[in-house]
């Protein structure tokens, strides 16, 4: 069984639009376990580190400006195949490709302002969790289902 941890971040537009609860609900309803959650401001250094793969792209400067423009909510979700499942629930980057039923498909109309980030691989998940969370901000607890599956 492939138990994974993955990083999510509700972007400033998700907070501004009052969608935090709805977005987190999608993950809870799916059965993913929330093991960390916090509201925070992202400073320029953290923004540049987080989005380093996009340096030089046409949208990079505005992306840094946008992600530092107001508080975000960062979280860690855990579960079987969590990384891929969370990306599927989030939907495609561009709203015209994001399927209805996904978070971006249901709530976004613009690629830049697409309300949520989620890790796209085990490598980025580890990097992003370490970048945003101290060890003591990540919680360990059991879900009943995990005991049945023997899958902590
Ligand atoms: N063509 C674009 N125009 C404007 N903003 C973009 C564009 N492509 C990506 N972005 C922004 O940069 C973020 C990171 O891009 P990317 O890693 O490709 O997408 P994802 O967030 O789906 O992993 C996107 O979520 C979006 O906010
Ligand atoms: Mg990405």
- Tens of pLDDT along 102-152? 999 999 999 999 999 999 999 999 999 999 999 999 999 999 888 888 766
The CA-based diameter of the chain, rounded to the nearest angstrom, is: 49
Which residue shows structure tokens 């370490």?
130
Query: In a mutational test of the pocket of ligand 1, which residue from 51, 90, 111, 117 has the highest number of ligand atoms less than 8 Å from its CB?
Result: 111
Q: Which residues are catalytic?
A: 117
Decide: 111 in ligand 1 pocket, CB within 6 A: yes
| Tens-digit pLDDT profile for residues 10-59 | 999 999 999 999 999 999 999 999 999 999 999 999 999 999 999 999 99
What's residue 151's pLDDT?
A: 66
Record: fold of 3-149: Alpha-Beta Plaits (3.30.70)
Which residue's structure tokens are 């979280």?
75
Average pLDDT along the chain: 96
Exposed, middle or buried, 91 (CB in 10 Å: 0-12/13-18/19+)?
A: buried
Ligand 1, atom 21, lies closest to the CA of 117
Res 1: pLDDT: 76
Query: What pTM, to 2 d.p., does this model score?
Result: 0.96
Residues 6+ apart with CB under 8 A from 48: 55, 64
Residue 50 beta carbon below 6 angstroms from any ligand 1 atom: no
Pick the residue whose CA is nearest to atom 20 on ligand 1: 93
Domain ranges of the chain: 3-149
Residues β-bridged to residue 6: 77
Rg of the chain on CA atoms, in Å: 15
Question: Which numbered ligand comes closest to the C-alpha of 128?
Answer: 2
């Amino acid at each position: 069984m492939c138990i994974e941890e993955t990083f999510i971040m509700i972007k400033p537009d998700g907070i501004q639009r009052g969608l935090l609860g709805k977005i987190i609900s999608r993950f809870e309803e799916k059965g993913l376990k929330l093991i960390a959650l916090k509201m925070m401001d992202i400073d320029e250094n953290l923004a540049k580190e987080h989005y380093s793969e996009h340096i030089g792209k046409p949208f990079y400067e505005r992306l840094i400006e946008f992600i530092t423009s107001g508080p975000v909510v960062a979280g860690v979700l855990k579960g079987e195949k969590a990384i891929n499942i969370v990306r599927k629930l989030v939907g495609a980057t561009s709203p015209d490709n994001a399927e209805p039923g996904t978070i971006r498909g249901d709530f976004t109309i613009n690629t830049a302002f697409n309300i949520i980030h989620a890790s796209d691989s085990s490598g980025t998940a580890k990097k992003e969790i370490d970048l945003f969370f101290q060890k003591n901000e990540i919680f360990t607890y059991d879900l009943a289902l995990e005991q049945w599956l023997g899958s902590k």
